[in-house]
Chain A
Amino acid sequence: MVKRELRLGIDYGTSASKMVFRDPLAPGGEKTYVVVRDGNFRIPSSVALTAENLVFGCSPGACELLDLPLWYESVKMRVAGEATSNYRKYCYGPLPNLPRGLTARDIATLTVWYLIGEGHYVASRFLRAEPDEVATSVTLGIPMSFFEDGLLRRTFLSIARRARSIYIKYGRMVSGKIQLDEARKIIEESSHDNMDEAEIPKDALRNWIRSEAEAGLCLAVKSPGVPEGAYAEIDIGAGTTHASVFWIWSRFRGGRWLKDRLAFYGVRSEPVGMDAVDAVLAPLGGLALDECLRLRGEERETIDRVGAGSLDCVVKEIRETYIRAWRRACLMLNLAEREGFRHHDIFVAGGGSLIPEITTILATHPDGYERPLSIRRLGKPDDLLRTDGKAILGEDIPFLVVAYGLSYNALEVPEAYMPGGMHPQTIPEKKFVGWEEM
């Protein structure tokens, strides 16, 4: 039997994950669908440990568990800390003990398995097909700084591969819950599979894991409204902010200029994001610190009430991430190139893009030039729909662009040159002067 093939892009976020699947056989032409579960496209990445079980897809306060669980937050960052033995670099706050016999990487593997199962289940139901009539390939998004780091890249590649392998073998995790012993057994079995990066060709690697920055920019690069040139992308997620400074290149091929390469000159990830914003706002909004997540999505109203000044310290840190990425990019550029980069537009993604106090400050040039940088917003792609048939709102786009970009096959998205592999290049001169500038 020929299976219906889908590509599932998983934006494995620090606090919430988003998934988009691409259906090449959708009526009227290929389409992408946001996986919506219980009316929400955000699936918590937190993992709860109860007396006997690991529970996935829940967040503190949002689900009722019989036992008082131990919550594991920001597992993704903990994996990085664990892999590099440098927790201070990646993790903030307390690190609750992991269940015996399981590492952060194992918990992440189980989470991704759970996510694949949910995505596959929602997709099959949407297509009115049996789960075994659908074949899903998976691309997991990771921060570019992780992708750049050989150790972290291998770690996350193995997470993606093992998770999918577990899914193929065991199917969907029932009720998002697994007994600890069962979890240990499955992890143990999966560790026998050879998941070494070396066997995988470059394109296939990018089909397993891809940098979030690259995926988030896929929509921008494909958008006709985004010309070749210098840009920055700042993705202000829940737990982390990723900043990258890059150039979209086009090449003259077949009589046309085609935007077909992304060259990243500087990237930076810092553990500051909307969690930090909420943590600052919570006491001012009359909430206890551990209740700060209740503010999620309502930061705008709270800021209006308590004043924008309260956010200064967090906003400064977020901007600092961008400045560091910029400085790193500058190190790789000669003077002329730097001039080419000077006036770059900025794409802001993630929850932070909805807070004007943050986006406004990002428009200030890192080198202090007076002319502010332009903040660009991405519109909704025509082929992006929700599985529940509801409309996708403009304010949802910053949260969905990464998953959307991940749902593309690596063979059809622009090749990305990573900062580690970059060497100074000649920034092309403008092909022409806009008539407004003449």
Chain B
Amino acid sequence: MDPECSEDSGPHFNKGDTVQRVNQPEAIGVILDIHRDSQTGSWTYIIQFGTERRAVPEAAIRRFSPTLTPWDALEANSLSGQQHFLFTLTYYRLLYPPARIARSFATARTQFYPHQFRPVLKFLDNPGNRLLIADDVGLGKTIEAGYILRELDLRQGQLERVLVVVPARLTSKWKREMEGRFGDHFEIVTGNHILDQVNRLRQGRELASFRWIVSYESARRDDLITALKETPLAIDLLVADEAHRMRHSETLQHKVGAELVEGSDATLFLTATPVQTSLEDLWHLLRMLAPEEFQEWPVFEQQMFANRLLLATQRTLAGDSPNIEKARSYFEQFLTGALAQSARRGEFLQSVYGRVQSTNLDRHEIIELQEDIGRLSPTSHIISRTRKVEALPNRPLRKAGWVPIELTGQEREIYEAVEELCRMVWGQGESSWGYSMTLINAYRRTASCIPAAMDFFREKLEGISGFIDEPEAQELEEEVPEGSESVWKEKGARDRIQQILRLYESDSFDDSKLNVLSGTLFQLWGEDDRAARVRRKVVIFSAYPRTVQYLSKSLNEIDIKTRFIHGSVKMPDRETAIDDFLESEEVCVLVSSEVGGEGIDLQKACVVINYDLPWNPMTVEQRIGRVDRIGQESPTIYIFNFVVGDSIEERILQRLLTRIRIFEETIGELDDIIGNQVEDLTRRVLQGGLAGEELERVLRQTEEALEVRLRDAKNMLSKVDTLLAADEALIHEIQSVVGERQLPSDRELFLFLNRFLAENYEGCQMPKEAIRGTSSVDFHGTLAQELESAAAELGEDALLFARRISSGPVTVTCSREMAYRHPRTELIHTHHPLCRFAVAKARAKGLQHGDAFALSIRPGRLPLGQYVLLVALLHIHSFRPSTKMVAIVTNIDGSQLFIDPDETTPILIEILEKGQDIYSSLRMEGQFETIKERLRSGLDKLKADLETREAKVDQARQEQLHASQAAGYEFRLARAQQILERFQQSGQRESILRMAKGKVEKARRERDAFIEQTPVAMWRGIEPEEIAVGVLYVTETN
């Protein structure tokens, strides 16, 4: 032996001693064995740290001495590093989630777009449980509704009955989105199912739990309306998408909607076009939602006027230099109005007025004042609206072009033969909807892709499949219409199709459209190669899965690597295809159908090719929307529309779509505006009823009419904005969730969980790929068992997860986007049972030592130097209890003290993101108490400032909220009583009366409980909790 630093003395520690690492005090372990190092001669200890067994030299450990507070640890120079700092802050943020939207934010498989949480907060703030979401198209209203449902589910326990009413074409989309994004299984049903439930109720049977999607088309039935009028269906949440369809009170849609709203506890209306011709459109919708508030049109006009003044007040307070004088003037005008007069004596109004008159408000106070002014708005609580310019301020430019396809002689013959077939058959055959659809479909297929259409015709003639084969059926989402098959059975039609097929097979077929497509692609990539940039990714859309498959195969044959997706591509294959397209540099083309691409973010692509064009302009917008979304880095999106030259499509579709500028700008939901005009016109042309000058005249008229209607709709839409309040405070609240790291980031959560797993369950940690990608993890051992035991406290999801992991490895991800792309993957989020389990275990274990740190960051936020940092939680016990994490920083000589969260929060974030471990040689013996005192006084000041601000308005807010909530409870009680009276008058069965009485009792109980239990004064001050202290070095080198 040649010990380098041999020591004669024996080991300082014994087997069984509890020790901690000198440089990592949170690593506490028990000595299992002692060895002498044969090279250095020093003592090496085998120590069990959690699940890990490590060999540590004597100099690196010390006897465990509990330090109860962070200050003790700092004084003892027992300093941890960056990883533990991150762990500690993550633990406290999980323990006290400071955000109201923490639950829905965490759990959905979506990307974070702040505007999508505005409706959630508005809904939570609205005691009436009613909201109209009027965002511009493409901003994710479905997801917003999903967030609200998720928030209600998590706050109130799983809702029993949820009904979503949507246009027929959107039923599958809703089902997919709710399942894919939120894991909620919805069933698509018809009006009969609702009727069955009503009948069930009439028969005195219990209502079943359901999550249903029903189309307007199937629910607009007189018998259902009558049944619902007699026996309202108790629904926990009703969501009506494209709610503008219900605005005309004489329509069946309105009537059925009104009856469903009547029975629902919470209602969401979704529309991008809440007004079309006048603001009365909106008033009708609001009146359906909250009749108690919007009964009279004149009152609504007053409300609009009052709201404009409040909005003006808010706007003058916004920005970097708020104009208080002007704000006061607007507010005083508001106070003279009839609406304000009625509330004049209210504490809340007085509090707001007092603050509007104040001249020394800081930024936080102004934001809060804006929020409180918003609370006075008579309309903003029930409408949530985000405009695209607001959510996507730097949207890329859309450049669209039409690519006319010059057909070869053979192709032209085929194309015209199909046109003629339509005319001929239409002339002699029946005129059912199914019949018409079949003919139009045949024509559209030919215009889309002749080889794929011929393939389809051949199969039809051979009787291989039905009206539309399976993939097509799923894609087109249409029921098999009556009369659809007769076309293929008619001798004349069959002969003509045979002729067309012979024409196709008579010569070697040259596909002009495909040639133009490949030419376009090579031209695009040629430009990229010349500019030495990465080749642009291209999404090619077609309405027909057959065309999708044909294109993919054909392009692959000419060495253009593609992937394809459509409705019947199995989910795992679809995931792989999308991953390949997004991740692989070699795969630059994705061929997709509408359904295949729905809900998928393809913003890595910047070129859209419409190989065929849908006749519904909304579908066109949805296609472009896959690429034109948040995260698109290209300043320009290129859209190529392929259209057969000198065709009906060119004459009708190209002209109309160009005129309404669908490719250049996003417009609202156009169904009502453009209706079925394209289809109607095409049908008339195909039938031979419209041609030549007559066609030209009709087209011109249609174009002009559409343009006028669109312009009017846009003007009216801008008026809706005057009904809203400036939601600065809401936006601030949402953005701070991420911007101020109120909730841990994916990486922070991952590190927190892995540390927890490492300490408790060896080999169960997640690989790093799980942060942004997916990774298979074998959570073996006792984790499943312990999680299952804890399920009673943690909830059913803990049990499900425990069972899942006990059956073998699971694929996990922390990325919500990856979770959406890979639906079978377990999304690990801040509210995941594993997370709750980790927090509960950490809490039960308690802190074994105080948390003090030595950290370093680079200069920027702070100048070079040595600082001491205190991180604390402020538990605010107010009517809306919350917890804020704050930091106080001082430099060593005491010349600077940073307490303003605007300054300290970015420092905290920088430490979380870029902090480094550092050897701390700082000794504060003489100054320790002084520094401690200084930081604590800073915390006290921060607390006092916050207290002054919060306490001042808390009472007023409380009163206002209390009054508003009480009104909500009163309204629900009154409505329940009305229903009961109606039942009594109509002599309903005893069981129905019993149910209605039960509802009245429930509403009364809730109201009484609210009045009795809610104390008028909730303010109990602010309680600080110090969680960490540390030495912070701001240095150029670490």
Binding site for B on A (CB under 8 A): 2-5, 24-31, 135-138, 161, 164-165, 168, 193, 200-201, 203-204, 207-208, 223-225, 227, 250, 255-259, 379, 389, 408-409, 411-412, 431-438
Partner of A28, one of B24, B777, B810: B24
> When the two chains form their complex, are residues B51 and A256 in contact, meaning their CB atoms are under 8 A apart?
yes
B257 CB-CB contact with A under 8 Å: no
Q: Which residue of A lies closest to B36 (CB)?
A: A204
Q: Which residues of B contact A28 (CB under 8 A)?
A: 23-24, 80-84, 854, 917
Are B39 and A224 neighbours in the complex by a CB distance under 8 Å?
no
Q: Is the CB of B53 within 8 A of A257?
A: no
Which of B35, B38, B763, B917 is in CB contact (< 8 Å) with A27?
B917
Tell whether, in the assembled complex, residue B781 and residue A137 are in contact, meaning their CB atoms are under 8 Å apart. no
A258–B765 CA distance with the chains assembled, in angstroms: 13
Chain A residues near B22 (CB-CB < 8 A)? 25
Take A165-B2, A432-B807 as given contacts and tell me if A412 and B54 are in contact as well, using a CB distance cutoff of 8 Å. yes
Contact partner of A203 among B35, B764, B781, B810, CB < 8 A? B35
Which of A24, A135, A204 is packed against the most chain B CB atoms within 10 Å? Answer: A24
List 15 A-B residue pairs with CB atoms under 8 Å apart, sorted by A's residue number. Answer: A24-B21, A26-B917, A28-B81, A28-B84, A28-B917, A30-B24, A164-B39, A168-B2, A168-B4, A225-B767, A256-B761, A256-B762, A258-B51, A411-B33, A411-B44
User: Which of B55-63, B507-515, B518-526 forms contacts with chain A?
Assistant: B55-63
Closest CB in chain A relative to B5 CB, distance in Å: 5
- Rank and list the top 7 A-B pairs by shortest CB-CB distance, nearest first: A28-B81, A28-B917, A434-B808, A224-B765, A409-B55, A137-B39, A225-B767
Which residue on B lies nearest to A224, using beta carbons?
A: B765
Given contacts A137-B40, A224-B777, A256-B782, contact A27 B807 (CB under 8 A): no
Question: Which residues of B have CB within 8 Å of A31?
Answer: 917
- Bound state CA distance, A201 and B778, in angstroms? 36
Instruction: Select which of B27, B40, B1038 is within 8 A of A389 by beta carbon.
Output: B1038
A3 touches B38 (CB 8 A): no
Contact between chains at A2 and B781 (CB < 8 Å): no
Cβ of B27: which chain A residues have Cβ within 8 Å of it? 29
Most chain B CB atoms below 10 A, which of A4, A5, A255: A5
Cβ contact of B766, chosen from A165, A224, A227, A412, cutoff 8 A:
A224
Since A4-B59, A136-B4 are in contact, a sample of 16 more A-B pairs with Cβ atoms closer than 8 Å, ordered by chain A residue number, is: A5-B37, A26-B917, A30-B24, A30-B54, A200-B38, A201-B38, A224-B763, A225-B769, A225-B776, A227-B763, A255-B782, A257-B762, A258-B763, A411-B35, A412-B55, A432-B808
Considering the complex, which residues of chain B in the window 19-55 have a beta carbon less than 8 Å from any beta carbon of chain A? 21-24, 27, 33, 35, 37-40, 42, 44, 46, 51, 53-55
B1011 to chain A minimum Cβ distance, whole angstroms, is 51
Q: Least Cβ distance of A380 to chain B in Å?
A: 8
Q: How far is the CB of A136 from chain B (nearest CB, A)?
A: 8
Residues of chain B within 8 A of A259, CB atoms compared? 762-763
Interface-centre pick from B2, B38, B764, B1038 (highest chain A CB count, 10 A):
B38
Specify which chain A residues have a CB less than 8 angstroms from the CB of B402 in the assembled complex.
none
**Per-residue interface assignment for chain B, residues 768 to 798, with 1 indicating a CB less than 8 Å from any chain A CB and 0 otherwise:** 1100000111101110000000000000000
- Report the separation of the CA atoms of residues A208 and B777 in the bound assembly, to the nearest whole angstrom: 35
Chain B residues with CB below 8 A from A412, complex form: 46, 53-55
Chain A hits for B766, CB < 8 A: 224-225
Give the shortest distance, in Å, between B877 (CB) and chain A (any CB).
36
Q: How far is the CB of A92 from chain B (nearest CB, A)?
A: 34
A438 to B809 CA separation, bound complex (whole angstroms): 12
Any A CB within 8 A of the CB of B918: yes
Contacts of B55 in A (CB 8 A): 408-409, 411-412
Other-chain residue from A27, A224, A257, A433 in contact with B854 (beta carbon distance below 8 A):
A27
B919 within 8 A of A: yes
Known A256-B761, A409-B44; contact A433-B808, beta-carbon cutoff 8 A: yes
Report the interface size class on chain B: 35 or more
Task: Determine the distance from Cα of A432 to Cα of B1037 in the docked complex, in whole angstroms.
Answer: 50
Instruction: Report the bound CA distance from A31 to B42 in whole Å.
Output: 20
One of B53, B82, B777, B806 near A225 (C-beta < 8 A): B777
CB-CB under 8 A for A24 and B780, given A29-B27, A258-B763, A432-B808: no
- Does B804 sit at the interface, judged by CB under 8 A? yes
- Is residue B920 contacting chain A, with contact meaning CB distance below 8 A? yes
Task: List the B residue with the shortest CB-CB distance to A169.
Answer: B2
**A207 in contact with B39 (CB, 8 Å):** yes
Give CA–CA (A438, B810) in the complex, Å. Answer: 13
Contacts A207-B38, A207-B39, A255-B782 given; indicate if A25 touches B44 (C-beta within 8 A): no
Residues of the B chain whose Cβ atoms lie less than 8 Å from the Cβ of A193: 2
B-side contacts of A258, CB under 8 Å:
51, 762-763
* Least CB separation from A438: chain B residue: B807
Residues of B within 8 A of A4 (CB): 59
Contacts of B777 in A (CB 8 A): 224-225
Q: Which residues of B contact A24 (CB under 8 A)?
A: 21, 23, 56-57, 59-60
Smallest distance from the beta carbon of A396 to chain B beta carbons, Å? 16
**A-chain residues with CB within 8 Å of residue B854 when the two chains form the complex:** 27-28
A215 to B627, CA, bound (A): 48
Contact code string B67-106 (vs A, CB < 8 Å = 1, else 0): 0000000000001111110000000000000000000000
User: In the assembly, what is the distance between CA of A208 and CA of B35, in Å?
Assistant: 15
Q: Are B51 and A29 in contact (CB under 8 A)?
A: no
With both chains docked as a complex, state the minimum distance between the C-beta of B90 and any C-beta of chain A, in angstroms. 16
Q: How far is the CA of A71 from the CA of B775 in the complex (A)?
A: 48
Please name all residues of chain A whose beta carbon is closer than 8 Å to the beta carbon of B919 when the two chains form the complex: 27
Chain A hits for B35, CB < 8 A = 203, 411
Whole-angstrom distance between the alpha carbons of A225 and B764 in the complex? 8
Q: Are B804 and A5 in contact (CB under 8 A)?
A: no
Cα of A29 to Cα of B28 in the assembled complex, Å: 12
Nearest CB in chain B to that of A201: its residue: B38
Closest CB of chain B to A411's CB: distance in Å? 4
Q: A203 to B765, alpha carbons, bound, how many Å?
A: 28
Is the pair A223, B767 in contact by a Cβ cutoff of 8 Å? yes
C-alpha gap A417/B1021 in the complex (Å): 65
CA A3 – CA B917 in complex, angstroms? 21
> With A24-B57, A256-B762 as given contacts, are A435 and B84 in contact (CB-CB < 8 Å)?
no
Residues of A within 8 A of B776 (CB): 225
* A349 → B minimal CB distance (Å): 18
Q: Which of A3, A200, A225, A433 contacts B4 (CB 8 A)?
A: A3
Complex alpha-carbon distance, A136 and B41, angstroms: 11
Query: A136 CA to B5 CA in the complex, in Å?
Result: 10
Would you give the shortest CB distance from A51 to chain B, in whole angstroms? 34
- A257 in contact with B763 given A26-B23, A28-B81, A225-B777 (CB within 8 Å): yes
B767 adjacent to A431 (CB under 8 Å): no
Residues of A within 8 A of B806 (CB): 432
A3 touches B39 (CB 8 A): no
Indicate if the CB atoms of A257 and B57 lie closer than 8 Å.
no
Cα distance A224–B21 in the bound complex, in angstroms: 23
Complex partner residue of B24 from A29, A203, A379, CB under 8 angstroms: A29
Chain B 957-1002 interface residues, beta-carbon cutoff 8 Å to A: none
Q: Which chain A positions have C-beta within 8 A of B24?
A: 28-30
Q: How far is the CA of A137 from the CA of B919 in the complex (A)?
A: 23
**Are B21 and A29 in contact, with the CB atoms below 8 A?**
yes
Nearest chain B CB to A254 CB, angstrom units = 8
**B56 contacts A224, CB within 8 Å?**
no
B5 touches A250 (CB 8 A): no
The interface centre, meaning the residue of B53, B854, B1038 with most chain A CB atoms within 10 A of its CB, is: B53
The reply to whether A25 and B23 contact each other, CB–CB distance below 8 Å, is yes
What is the CA–CA distance of A164 and B2 in the complex, to the nearest angstrom?
9
Complex Cα–Cα for A203 and B51 (A): 22
A432 to B784, CA, bound (A): 13
Which of these, A29, A136, A164, A435, contacts B807 with CB under 8 Å? A435
B846 to chain A, nearest CB (A): 22
Instruction: Please state if B83 and A29 are interface contacts (CB–CB under 8 Å).
Output: yes
The answer on a CB contact under 8 Å between A27 and B40 is no
Residues of B722-764 contacting chain A, CB below 8 A: 754, 757, 761-764
Tell me how far the C-beta of A227 lies from the nearest C-beta in chain B, rounded to whole angstroms.
5
Bound: A27/B1038 CA distance, A: 11
Give chain A residues whose Cβ lies under 8 Å from the Cβ of B765. Answer: 224
